[in-house]
Chains A and B, each alone.
Chain A
């Protein structure tokens, strides 16, 4: 069953998803500020549902083309991780963030986020 993720496209923010075997990828691009919070929330919510439905072992979140994300949008990921941590061990999957080391906000925010679940979250720069 292929991933069911309608692409999200606004003037400043885009999100798309794909899957291959036990790996799903969420790709975020553009700028995620307060004006697109609802889109970010939608992207994360749908990906959570799909990851569970497809029983993936890993979700890659590709932020390399994401220029900026404000804290209110980033909180969607905190909620995602919190929820994941409270799932039974067999329903958990790993989340691998692909980041751009030249974007400093990613470094700090993802590092803090990884404190939630060091065994589930990987950051690749």
Chain B
């Protein structure tokens, strides 16, 4: 009697499906390649969409919901690719290729086998973000007179999020230079794009944690341990950089708990514990700090073993060693974060805690966070990660370049102010080395106010000197980064005391001015 899938389908049927998937994927990859190379045409495009749609339908019939899901995401990607005439960004091409591989992997998987390590939810999120960002850029390209700037040559090295932030910033700039109804429309466009940037850069913690839960259970099974994972992070989102750092911390914290904290069932019952171990992941945002905790009800830290291991491996210096004189007065919970502690363990020579916790500390440290390890009340271990949360701030000097039009520069520049010499210039005419920021950005001619330079701001950073004309004195302020652009962009929009302000990067702006050949910054010698 032939075996069946969970859905009751005979094996032969499923085998035939797998064979068809392989054939269709090969054809789809070939079509995709030719369309990207420009050798494919409408017929190839139609066939590709048809092949993927058929795959999706077959997967639905077989009951392979994960294959069906990836096919659905692939269709989304192909729809966008078709709309941009197959001139797709690199990351979209990657996601399509990944979809092909995902489908193949999932379809070949034996019936009932776990989806070990595959983060389908994360993949869907990546696809959604790429689709959303490409759609937004597509809309912007049709509305902005400066659309070409958003497709500058260096864009090849930018991801969708950065390009979207650049597009949003350009929309804000255009709004500054526009009049009447178009000004309001451009402001609306800026707000829409800014929201897209915010959504694109926001990562729900729930999804971040869930991607580890499946792998956690499987690792437990491999190690002969029974694990329940409890997650309480619902509703919280963090920026992508914070999410990436927490991701590393979670990976090592959870693996550590399973590998070394939780005991096998017979050991737990012998110690009067339930056979199933418990890992609890919680998160909360307090003020500007995200706190994520991974705790388990396992055996906790073996202090003596950790100290001995640190001594054996030379992870503590002679001074510390002498000071201790063999007594366990080390801060054991800090020793587990020492570099090298985990490497020795991965080789399987010593038991105890510490796998990868040094990597977790390094990752969190890079975003200004920290991680600590402590014993959990009631037994077990508790890893606490704290990271500055949602808001990025920067110090800026704010000044007006026209009445009612403030701009800012990063406070990393040294600013000195000199008054415009009396009678030196008529209104609207400036000394040749003084840059009018709005003219450099190409919107001065559209403004009602002509430039009136009250002050010359001498900006200095390293060897670069730049002179900006200003109609007010600069003041130091804290700005909230609401739409971060990269350091190679000449500007960014921030929020200063509830007001949107354009931050200029003088080094980029000066370069643009040089390229335009109308005014040159001076370089100190």
Contact = CB atoms under 8 A, between A and B. Distances in A.
Given A85-B117, A115-B118, A123 B98 contact: no
A67 B157 contact: yes
Contact of A86 (B93, B105, B222, B248): B105
A57 B98 CA distance: 25
B363 A124 contact: yes
B347 A22 contact: yes
A111 B126 contact: yes
Interface string A56-73: 011000000001101100
A71 B363 contact: no
A117 B118 contact: yes
Nearest to A21: B347
A117 B248 CA distance: 14
A39 interface: no
A47 to B, nearest CB: 19
B171 interface: no
Contacts of A21: 343, 347
Contact of B162 (A67, A104, A118): A104
A113 B93 CA distance: 13
Contacts of A124: 248, 359, 362-363
Nearest to B104: A82
Contacts of B104: 82
Interface residues of A, number: 39
Contacts of A78: 94, 97-98, 101
Given A86-B105, A113-B98, A118-B251, A71 B219 contact: no
B509 to A, nearest CB: 20
Contact of B101 (A82, A104, A108): A82
Nearest to B92: A71
Interface in A9-23: 21-23
A117 B90 contact: no
B231 to A, nearest CB: 15
Interface in A100-125: 101-105, 107-109, 111-120, 122-125
A119 B159 contact: no
Interface in B87-114: 90-91, 93-95, 97-98, 101-102, 104-105, 108
Contacts of B93: 71
B333 to A, nearest CB: 23
A1 interface: no
Interface in B340-378: 343, 346-347, 359, 362-363, 366
A74 interface: yes
B174 interface: no
Interface residues of B, number: 50
B119 A114 contact: yes
B98 A125 contact: no
B157 A74 contact: no
A119 B93 CA distance: 24
Contacts of A111: 122, 126, 244
B226 to A, nearest CB: 18
A116 B248 contact: no
B183 interface: no
B304 to A, nearest CB: 26
Contacts of B346: 22, 57-58
Among the interface residues B102, B116, B158, B160, which one has the most CB atoms of the partner chain A within 10 A?
A: B116
B91 A75 contact: no
Contacts of A23: 343
Given A112-B91, A117-B117, A68 B157 contact: yes
Contacts of A118: 117-119, 122, 211-212, 215, 251
Contacts of B486: 102, 104
B104 to A, nearest CB: 7
Contacts of A108: 91, 159-161
A119 B219 contact: yes
Interface in B118-174: 118-120, 122-123, 126, 156-162
Contacts of B158: 104-105
Contacts of A101: 241, 366
B366 A71 contact: no
A73 to B, nearest CB: 10
A115 B126 contact: yes
Nearest to A69: B90
A104 B94 CA distance: 15
Nearest to B362: A124
A71 B120 CA distance: 21
Contacts of B94: 71, 74-75, 78, 109, 112-113
Contact of B159 (A105, A115, A125): A105
A34 B123 CA distance: 26
A85 B218 CA distance: 14
A104 to B, nearest CB: 4
Nearest to A70: B90
Interface in B458-492: 486-487
A94 to B, nearest CB: 9
A31 B203 CA distance: 30
30 contacts: A21-B343, A70-B90, A70-B156, A71-B94, A74-B94, A75-B94, A78-B98, A85-B116, A85-B117, A86-B108, A101-B366, A104-B159, A105-B91, A107-B244, A108-B91, A109-B94, A111-B122, A112-B91, A112-B98, A112-B123, A113-B94, A116-B98, A118-B118, A118-B119, A118-B122, A118-B215, A119-B117, A123-B248, A124-B359, A124-B362
Give the 10 A-B CB pairs with smallest separation, nearest first: A108-B159, A119-B215, A71-B93, A115-B123, A119-B117, A117-B117, A71-B90, A115-B119, A104-B159, A115-B122
